[in-house]
Copies of this chain bind each other. A is one copy, B any other.
């Protein structure tokens, strides 16, 4: 059974949660790339069903919002000490800096501040072929109920 250290770091555990446990992530095809304390990287491989603008072949803004919420929440999870802790999204904000091409998306989520009750995260999305060109940036704020670790 996973303990608080695996909660803080285990790639396998996060893969299971993100890829298998959450139905909507399967529709998106979301895959975990890496997880470390305070950092989660995921990818959504391109498929035509994710397109929001068929003329530009750009990924739907809602796909970017979805992957940001997923990665931000998982980053929040890495700050937790117990499986009894609860996390829920308070709000999510996305700036669409430029259209995403029809290509795999990478999303990196990191912790900006992890408090006793509120976690602030920052997310960036970019196309896999151009890691320096951010296509969207996001902010997620999460409510956390922390319990003393046993």
Contact = CB atoms under 8 A, between A and B. Distances in A.
Contacts of A88: 96, 99
A139 to B, nearest CB: 7
B26 A49 contact: yes
How many monomers of this protein are in the complex?
4
Interface of A: 21-28, 48-54, 60-63, 65-70, 88-99, 112-113, 115, 117-118, 120, 134, 137, 139, 141, 143, 145
Q: Is the interface of A mostly helix, strand, loop or mixed?
A: mixed
Contacts of A62: 24, 28, 62-63, 65-70
Given A24-B63, A65-B69, A139-B139, 11 more contacts: A22-B60, A23-B49, A61-B89, A62-B67, A89-B96, A90-B90, A90-B96, A91-B94, A93-B93, A93-B139, A141-B141
A113 B97 contact: yes
A89 B141 CA distance: 12
A86 to B, nearest CB: 10
A71 B59 CA distance: 16
23 contacts: A22-B52, A22-B60, A23-B49, A23-B51, A27-B50, A61-B66, A62-B62, A62-B69, A62-B70, A63-B66, A65-B65, A65-B66, A88-B99, A89-B96, A90-B90, A91-B94, A92-B94, A93-B94, A95-B120, A95-B139, A97-B113, A98-B113, A117-B117
